[in-house]
């Protein structure tokens, strides 16, 4: 039987890059699978060098779904960093970079796995993390707890990620009050799907060597049908 763990990712700044190279650091429009698994590994105390860790391998195999409560705005920072030039000791060289991030975004992430014990360990670790938790960069702290209430965090499912994420009772079950002024309408769903039309290269094989493989995702939308005075979703 499949089970789903729900996670809340909200903060003033988030960055979920998958194609960052050299002086240009990108961010996706929603959290990447490698970013979420990296966050979970920090919570569980799994070292980035430990590619053979069983929980890490199982997390990579779990299916991921994202519900975009609020997409936020894409912004960029212009960074300068000094480094010691190798050719001449004591001489500092300046490296320039442009780094993109999402401002004021809010997401529900859902991991689907047959291993309920794994999801329970993840949930416990998110409540009592071994290392600092951040949203893509160490300076980007969550504004709300990443873990949700114990009685809502893990559910048994027969219908799968998409159905559970578009469920009209999901927000109230997770303790989220729909706000028409701050939440998107409609809200985007990005679901891992072997038949999906979009390919993303964000499944971690090795964090130490920065090796990843691909997965397919499908995008759909769920709309607010109740207006400002009724936050039901379908």
DSSP string for residues in 84-109: E-SSSTT-EEEEEEEEEEEEEEEEEE
Is the per-residue pLDDT at 193 higher than 70? yes
Decide which of 53 and 97 is more confident.
53
Looking at domain 2-74+103-222, which CATH architecture does it have? 2-Layer Sandwich (3.30)
Decide which of 97 and 118 is more confident.
118
**Separation of alpha carbons 18 and 4, rounded Å:** 24
In the chain, domain spans: 2-74+103-222
Nearest to 190 by CA among 26, 32, 3, 41: 32
Please, which pLDDT band fits residue 160 given cuts at 50, 70 and 90?
A: very high
Please, which pLDDT band fits residue 64 given cuts at 50, 70 and 90?
A: very high
Is the per-residue pLDDT at 89 higher than 90? no
- Encoding tokens for residue 167? 């469920």
Return the ∠ at Cα 10 (arms to 4 and 16), rounded to 5°: 85
**Separation of alpha carbons 178 and 127, rounded Å:** 24
**Separation of alpha carbons 173 and 98, rounded Å:** 39
pLDDT per residue as tens digits for the range 99-146? 888 999 999 999 999 999 999 999 999 999 999 999 999 999 999 999
- Encoding tokens for residue 159? 């219908």
Q: What is the mean pLDDT of the chain?
A: 89
Nearest to 153 by CA among 178, 131, 170, 133: 170
Cα-Cα end-to-end distance for the chain: 25
Please, which pLDDT band fits residue 225 given cuts at 50, 70 and 90?
A: very low
């Amino acid at each position: 039987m499949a089970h789903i763990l729900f996670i809340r990712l909200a903060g003033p700044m988030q960055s979920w890059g998958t194609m960052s190279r050299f002086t240009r650091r990108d961010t996706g429009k929603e959290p990447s699978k490698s970013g979420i698994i990296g966050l979970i590994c920090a919570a569980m105390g799994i070292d980035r060098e430990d590619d053979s860790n069983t929980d890490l391998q199982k997390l990579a195999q779990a299916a991921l779904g994202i519900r975009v409560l609020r997409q936020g705005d894409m912004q960029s920072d212009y960074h300068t960093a000094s480094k010691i030039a190798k050719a001449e000791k004591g001489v500092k060289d300046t490296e320039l970079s442009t780094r993109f991030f999402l401002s004021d975004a809010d997401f529900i992430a859902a991991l689907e796995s047959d291993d309920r014990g794994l999801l329970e360990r993840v949930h416990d670790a998110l409540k009592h993390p071994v290392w600092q938790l951040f949203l893509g960069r160490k300076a980007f702290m969550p504004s709300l707890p990443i873990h949700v209430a114990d009685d809502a965090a893990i559910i048994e499912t027969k219908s799968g990620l998409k159905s559970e994420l578009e469920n009209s009772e999901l927000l109230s079950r997770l303790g989220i009050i729909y706000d028409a002024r701050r939440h998107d309408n409609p809200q985007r769903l990005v679901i891992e799907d072997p038949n999906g039309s979009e390919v993303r290269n964000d499944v971690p094989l090795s964090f130490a060597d920065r090796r990843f493989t691909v997965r397919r995702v499908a995008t759909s939308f769920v709309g607010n049908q109740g207006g400002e005075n009724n936050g039901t979703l379908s």
